[in-house]
Amino acid sequence: MTRRIVVTGTDTNIGKTVFAAGLADFLGAEYWKPVQAGLEDETDTQTVARLGGLVQERILPERYRLVTPASPHLAARLDGIAIDTATLNPPDTGRPLVIEGAGGLMVPLDNRTLYIDVFARWRFPVVLCARTALGTINHSLLSIEALKARGIPLLGIAFIGEPNAESESIICEIGAVRRLGTLPWLAPLTRETLRAAFRDAFNADDFAT
Tens digit of each residue's pLDDT (9 = 90 or more) over 63-101: 999 999 999 999 999 999 999 999 999 988 889 999 999
Model confidence at 1, pLDDT cuts 50, 70, 90, reads: very low
Fold classified for 4-207:
Rossmann fold (3.40.50)
| pLDDT attached to residue 113 | 97
Residue 33 falls in the annotated catalytic set = yes
User: What average pLDDT does this structure show over 171-186?
Assistant: 98
What is the rounded radius of gyration, in angstroms, for the C-alpha atoms of the chain?
16
Q: Which residues, in sequence order, are bridge partners of residue 53?
A: none
Question: DSSP states of 70-119 as a string?
Answer: S-HHHHHHHHT----GGG--PPP-SS-EEEEEEEETT-BSSSS-BHHHHH
Kindly state the DSSP code that residue 133 receives in the 8-state scheme: S
Residue from 19, 1, 12 nearest 126 by CA = 19
Model confidence at 2, pLDDT cuts 50, 70, 90, reads: low
- Whether the Cβ atoms of residue 172 and residue 165 lie closer than 8 Å to each other: no
Residue from 203, 125, 138 nearest 170 by CA = 138
User: Among 31-35, 102-106, 115-119, 198-202, where is mean pLDDT lowest?
Assistant: 102-106
| pLDDT attached to residue 92 | 86
| pLDDT attached to residue 91 | 86
Model confidence at 103, pLDDT cuts 50, 70, 90, reads: confident
Mean pLDDT for the chain? 95
Residue from 44, 40, 37, 41 nearest 19 by CA = 44
- Residue 102 has phi, psi (to 5 degrees) of -130, 125
Asked if the model's pLDDT at residue 203 lies above 70, the reply is yes
Exactly one of 6, 18, 32, 33 is catalytic; name it.
Answer: 33
Q: pLDDT exceeding 70 applies to what percent of the chain?
A: 99
Model confidence at 209, pLDDT cuts 50, 70, 90, reads: low
Q: Give 105-157 pLDDT, tens digit per residue.
A: 999 999 999 999 999 999 999 999 999 999 999 999 999 999 999 999 999 99
Question: DSSP states of 2-71 as a string?
Answer: --EEEEEESSSSSSHHHHHHHHHHHHT-EEE-SEEE--SS--HHHHHHHHHT--GGGEEPPSEEESS-S-
